[in-house]
């Protein structure tokens, strides 16, 4: 067992027994942390792994949440029945939105995705066909029922979110070891080289978008269950900026990095409510400072790079030869 | 027809403001290849600074032309200083870092400025006094033209012409254009790139400050987070014209202002932003380098 495995096991174990250690206020912070870390991981697939400058990730999170809310409140589906839709609809929309713009260069793509997010906000607030409830959103989402059991307690929701995180981690592990993961990695490292090796760039980028959207969609569904309500401001463009920043401040394509990023951006503000007024000022300054001190994030990924101890060895053996 | 002419005037006015702000984005992008997300917040900041200078020093006294000029100059000075400080603290240390690090730094800087405004002036809306400029209006047929609108149109035209001459006819302007094309080559020619970037931030922030003050005078309501709205619109203007291209930013600003005014006048105000961004996305798909931008091959 190496150090990473021990830390990961410890983290999962602590998160697994967390509901028995804390009171209900902390429990709801725990759920928030789990849901947002899942969204951050899904953003990391698009931004960190595929290197696509996506600054509209809250769209997919929001579509998932609204799908569950609309199907449950307006069409009377059980929560559990809405979840497949909360996966499929974000996937379809992500492909429809991304396909025409996927070839754009970094900054242009970033601006286009900001544009999509602002359009999304405006669609939600303008209440098309009376479905989204306008600026107030949708209230009164049902509780989860499985085989007649009602999972309404916070602990039950916590474990739903926790299992979602575990599934997400599993998906990411399998992605990293697959042909798709390697293709994304090469596209991120050097797009032109990847293209000349015969990798179909648009196809893999769309795949990254679709996978990220699917995961964010389920996370949105859990978010809707936790608050039994959805409203546009949870999925606005600033939220996307946050997800974008989490991945880069934590360290892109790095699991501990994304966890740290989520903790810093979503959990710390819950703890320091007395700094409510100035907390975003402190955040902004911390974002600038982190980038200056650690341009690759707090805990950058080392996958694919030569570890430093090997580099030293290589250098010294070269020195001995001369 | 009257509605059309009225919206034409309104559109050109807003468009000139977008253009003034867009110049700051386009100059920074041209030289540093960085979206300066904090620029919109600097624009909001300048409206607040202008308001404070006005109420602190000129509140009761008569609003002579001289006083107004002083307010504009002082605001531009303060905001230019903050712009230079921003570059020194948040962007210069990251000039050799991965590009996304600089983007995050810019987002962080934007949060800092936005929340500093909130902490200094409070979270509630501030109202700009209506008597800073004369409230004269003219009726031309069915169209109403205010003194503020005429001043905005004339002054922004003068500023943009001056900037055009500065960039194309002076020695510093040549150095700026050279730095935009190739920083390393510019360095080899003896150009002090740090100084050029500082000048860009001074000029860009001053123009943004004048734009921000006019936004305050024209719309009157100020909120601490208004920077993103005007900033994004100005940034879209810069992209429409071709980012990095100074006449492009001016043209893009005017076109976007007209487009917004026509959408609000004829179609819907609730969906106005949506139309703006649909326009942006269509332009990005059809011609990513903008109307006046040149097609450049990707460097390998």
pLDDT of residue A42: 96
Instruction: Look up residue B217 and give its two tokens.
Output: 């005078």
Per residue in A245-274, pLDDT (tens digit) is 999 999 888 888 899 999 888 887 777 777
Res. A304: pLDDT tops 70:
no
Please check whether residue B178 is in contact with residue B191, taking contact to mean a CB–CB distance below 8 angstroms: yes
CA A229 from centroid of its chain's CA atoms: 20
Instruction: Name the one residue in this structure whose structure tokens are 């490292």.
Output: A189
Cα torsion angle, A209, A212, A214, A217, sign: negative
Per residue in A95-140, pLDDT (tens digit) is 999 999 998 888 889 989 999 999 999 999 998 888 888 899 998 8
User: How far away is chain B from the Cα of A174, in angstroms, using its nearest Cα?
Assistant: 26
Closest CA to A278 of B154, B118, B16, B99: B118
Share of chain A above pLDDT 70, in %: 92
CA distance A68 to A61: 11
CA distance B292 to B289: 8
**HSE toward the beta carbon, residue B213, CA cutoff 13 A:** 30
Is B187 exposed, middle or buried, given 0-12, 13-18 or 19+ CB atoms closer than 10 A? middle
Compute the mean pLDDT over every residue in chain A, rounded to the nearest whole number: 87
Put simply, the answer to whether A115 touches B280 (Cβ < 8 Å) is: yes
Strand ranges, E, within chain A: 138-139, 144-146, 149-151, 229-230
Put simply, the answer to whether A241 touches B281 (Cβ < 8 Å) is: no
Q: Collapse the DSSP code of B42 into the 3-class scheme (helix H, G, I; strand E, B; otherwise coil) and give the result.
A: helix
Predicted confidence pLDDT, tens digits, chain B (300 residues): 678 888 899 999 999 999 999 999 999 998 988 999 999 999 999 999 999 998 887 765 656 778 888 999 999 999 999 999 999 999 999 988 888 899 999 999 999 999 999 999 999 999 988 877 887 888 887 788 899 999 999 999 999 999 999 999 999 999 999 999 888 999 999 999 999 999 999 999 999 999 999 999 999 899 998 998 899 999 999 999 888 888 899 999 999 999 999 998 888 888 888 999 999 999 888 887 778 776 554 444
pLDDT of residue A56: 94
Confidence bin at A202 (pLDDT 50/70/90): very high
**HSE toward the beta carbon, residue B243, CA cutoff 13 A:** 25
pLDDT of residue B58: 73
Test the B interface: residue of A288, A295, A298, A305 with most B CBs within 10 Å: A288
CA distance B47 to B216: 5
Res. A322: pLDDT tops 60:
no
Count contacts between A and B (CB, < 8 Å).
121
Q: In A, which residues are within 8 Å of B110 by CB distance?
A: 284
Closest CA to B113 of A297, A14, A284, A205: A284
A104, A115, A287 member nearest B105 (Cβ): A287
Put simply, the answer to whether A111 touches B236 (Cβ < 8 Å) is: yes
pLDDT of residue B61: 60
Res. A321: pLDDT tops 70:
no
pLDDT of residue B59: 65
Put simply, the answer to whether B119 touches A278 (Cβ < 8 Å) is: yes
Per residue in A31-75, pLDDT (tens digit) is 999 999 999 999 999 999 999 999 999 999 999 999 999 999 999
Res. A317: pLDDT tops 60:
no
pLDDT of residue B63: 65
Nearest CA in chain A to B228: A238
Q: In A, which residues are within 8 Å of B288 by CB distance?
A: 104-105, 108
CA distance A271 to A116: 32
A interface with B, Cβ–Cβ < 8 A, is 53, 100-101, 104-108, 110-112, 114-116, 118-119, 122-123, 126, 192, 241, 244-245, 248-249, 252, 277-278, 280-281, 283-288, 290-292, 295-296
CA distance B113 to B124: 16
Q: Going by C-beta distance under 8 Å and a sequence separation of 6 or more, which residues neighbour residue B279?
A: B236, B240, B256, B259
Share of chain B above pLDDT 90, in %: 64
Per-residue pLDDT, averaged over A196-206, amounts to 92
pLDDT of residue A316: 54
A111, A244, A296 member nearest B98 (Cβ): A296
Global confidence as pTM: 0.89
């Amino acid at each position: 067992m190496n150090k990473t495995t021990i830390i990961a096991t410890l983290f999962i174990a602590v998160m697994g027994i967390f509901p028995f250690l804390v009171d209900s206020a902390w429990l709801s912070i725990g759920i928030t942390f789990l849901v947002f870390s899942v969204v951050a991981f899904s953003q990391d697939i698009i931004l960190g792994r595929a290197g696509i400058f996506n600054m509209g990730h809250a769209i997919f999170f929001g579509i998932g949440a609204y799908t569950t809310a609309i199907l449950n409140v307006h069409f009377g589906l059980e929560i559990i029945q809405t979840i497949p839709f909360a996966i499929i609809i974000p996937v379809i929309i992500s492909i429809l939105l991304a396909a025409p713009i996927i070839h754009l260069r970094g900054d242009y793509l970033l601006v286009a995705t900001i544009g999509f997010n602002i359009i999304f906000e405006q669609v939600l607030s303008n209440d098309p066909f009376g479905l989204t409830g306008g600026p107030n959103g949708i209230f009164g989402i049902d509780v989860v029922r499985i085989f007649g059991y009602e999972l309404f307690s916070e602990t039950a929701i916590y474990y739903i979110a926790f299992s979602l995180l575990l599934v997400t981690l599993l998906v990411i592990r399998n992605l990293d070891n697959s042909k798709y993961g390697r293709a994304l990695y090469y596209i991120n490292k050097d797009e032109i080289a990847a293209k000349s090796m015969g990798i179909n760039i648009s196809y893999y980028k769309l795949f990254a978008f679709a996978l990220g959207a699917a995961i964010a969609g389920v996370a949105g569904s859990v978010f809707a269950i936790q608050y039994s309500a959805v409203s546009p401001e949870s999925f606005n463009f600033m939220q996307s900026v946050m997800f974008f920043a989490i991945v880069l401040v934590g360290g892109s394509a790095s699991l501990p990095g994304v966890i740290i990023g989520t903790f810093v951006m979503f959990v710390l503000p819950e703890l320091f409510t007395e700094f409510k007024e100035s907390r975003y000022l402190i955040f902004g300054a911390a974002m600038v400072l982190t980038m200056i001190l650690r341009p690759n994030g707090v805990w950058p990924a080392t996958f694919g790079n030569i570890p430093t101890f090997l580099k030293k060895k290589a250098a010294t053996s070269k020195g001995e030869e001369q | 027809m009257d509605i059309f002419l009225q919206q034409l005037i309104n559109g050109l006015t807003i468009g000139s403001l977008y253009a003034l702000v867009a110049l700051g984005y386009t100059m920074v992008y041209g030289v540093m290849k960085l979206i300066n997300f904090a620029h919109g917040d600097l624009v909001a900041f300048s409206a607040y600074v202008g308001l404070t200078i006005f109420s602190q020093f000129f509140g009761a006294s008569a609003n002579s032309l001289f006083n107004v000029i002083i307010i504009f100059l002082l605001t531009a000075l303060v905001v230019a200083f903050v712009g230079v400080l921003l570059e020194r603290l948040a962007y210069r240390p990251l000039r050799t870092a991965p590009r996304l690090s600089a983007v995050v730094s810019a987002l962080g800087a934007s949060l800092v400025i936005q929340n500093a405004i909130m902490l200094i002036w409070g979270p509630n809306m501030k109202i700009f006094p209506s008597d800073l400029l004369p409230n004269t209006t003219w009726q031309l047929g069915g169209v109403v033209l205010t003194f503020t609108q005429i001043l905005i149109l004339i002054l922004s035209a003068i500023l943009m012409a001056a900037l055009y001459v500065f960039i194309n006819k002076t020695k510093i302007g040549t150095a700026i254009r050279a730095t935009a094309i190739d920083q390393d080559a510019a360095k080899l020619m003896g150009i002090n790139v740090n100084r050029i970037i500082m000048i860009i931030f001074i000029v860009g922030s001053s123009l943004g400050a004048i734009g921000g003050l006019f936004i305050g005078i024209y719309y009157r309501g100020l909120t601490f987070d208004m920077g993103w709205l005007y900033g994004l619109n100005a940034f879209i203007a810069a992209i429409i014209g071709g980012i990095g291209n100074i006449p492009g930013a001016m043209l893009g600003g005017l076109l976007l202002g007209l487009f917004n005014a026509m959408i609000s006048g004829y179609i819907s105000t609730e969906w106005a932003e949506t139309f703006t961004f649909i326009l942006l996305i269509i332009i990005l798909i059809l011609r990513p380098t903008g109307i006046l931008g040149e097609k450049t091959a990707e460097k390998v």
